[in-house]
């Protein structure tokens, strides 16, 4: 009996130490660890100020094209009809001067981006052109047309969900640096314009983007937004483009300007 009591006492004294050691081992890979937040797991740093590089499609992106100038956009018959009916005065009277500043059109504009982390799960992308804000929610399920049907009200910037795409080999290069990109899907969009001259997209639009970061030998950084606009109402087929931004040192050139239906 005396030996049994001694054995029980020894176990009681050692049990807390065993459990503590087990918990530390799990933290070192000996068991399940707390998942990293999207911010901590980011393979690229998208934060900072970025300016659009408009070296192509200048006449459609820097100025308001003439009515009917829809070259390169695969509009349907209905899309052509709506674009030819464009009247900026009507948009102004209806309080919809931001129609060309919804996410699919805004990204093609002469804008600067200011990207910051709103919290550990949400990237915030602000633009000085039109003074818009879009939130990218990471860590959940990417949006689809099915989920969009049950989501909240439609807005110019819609609802954007995103995920990290890690490069091959676990997302790390030879130097041990994380590598990858971000995919985002935007739904719940309020109907707007792909170009300022009334080229339309509908409320059924799904805007898919892939965000890649390129660093040059001299330290210059470029952000490439490869995106697809899918709209079964106004497009015959998806419209694919690639938009480039260069990182700026600070926000000294940030120039907030409100939406304008004409310029």
Give pLDDT < 70 ranges for the chain.
1-35, 144-151, 169-178
In terms of DSSP bridges, do strands 133-138 and 159-166 run parallel, antiparallel, or are they unpaired? parallel
Which residues, listed in sequence order, are joined to residue 195 by a DSSP beta bridge? 199
Q: Which long-range contacts (CB under 8 A, 24 or more apart) does 223-230 make?
A: 223/46, 223/50, 223/113, 223/247, 225/107, 227/104, 227/107, 229/104, 229/194, 229/201, 229/205, 230/205, 230/206
Which residues, listed in sequence order, are joined to residue 52 by a DSSP beta bridge? 245
Q: Distances from the Cα of 145 to the Cαs of 116, 159, 208, 230, in angstroms? A: 27, 11, 12, 11
Task: Dump strand ranges (E) for the chain.
Answer: 48-53, 112-119, 122-127, 133-138, 159-166, 180-187, 192-195, 199-201, 206-215, 221-230, 239-248
Q: How far is 148 from 155, CA to CA, in rounded Å? A: 12
pLDDT given for residue 59 in this prediction: 81
* Residue 5 · residue 11 · CB < 8 Å: no
pLDDT given for residue 170 in this prediction: 54
Strand, coil or helix: what is 213? Answer: strand
Q: How far is 169 from 172, CA to CA, in rounded Å? A: 6
Q: How far is 29 from 25, CA to CA, in rounded Å? A: 6
């Amino acid at each position: 009996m005396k030996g049994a009591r001694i054995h029980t006492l020894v176990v009681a004294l050692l049990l807390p130490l065993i459990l503590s050691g087990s918990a530390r081992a799990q933290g070192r890979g000996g068991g399940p660890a707390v998942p990293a937040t999207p911010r901590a797991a980011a393979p690229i740093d998208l934060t900072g100020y970025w300016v659009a590089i408009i070296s192509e499609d200048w006449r459609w992106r820097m100025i308001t094209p003439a009515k009917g100038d829809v070259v390169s956009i695969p509009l349907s018959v209905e899309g052509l009809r709506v674009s030819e009916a464009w009247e900026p005065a009507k948009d102004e009277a209806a309080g919809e001067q931001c129609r060309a500043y919804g996410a699919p059109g805004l990204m093609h504009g002469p804008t600067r981006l200011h990207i910051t982390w709103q919290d550990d799960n949400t990237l915030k992308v602000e633009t000085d052109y039109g003074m818009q804000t879009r939130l990218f929610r990471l860590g959940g399920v990417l949006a689809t047309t099915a989920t969009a049907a049950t989501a909240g009200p439609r807005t110019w910037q819609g609802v954007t969900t995103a995920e990290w795409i890690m490069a091959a080999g676990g997302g790390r290069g030879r130097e041990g640096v994380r590598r990858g990109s971000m995919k985002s899907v935007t739904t719940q969009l309020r109907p707007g314009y792909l170009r300022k001259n009334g080229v339309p997209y509908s409320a059924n639009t799904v805007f898919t983007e892939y965000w890649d970061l390129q660093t040059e030998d001299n330290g210059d950084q470029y952000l490439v937004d490869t995106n697809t606009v899918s709209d079964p109402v106004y497009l015959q087929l998806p419209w694919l483009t690639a938009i480039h931004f260069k990182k700026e040192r600070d926000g000294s050139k940030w120039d907030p300007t409100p939406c304008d239906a004409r310029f």
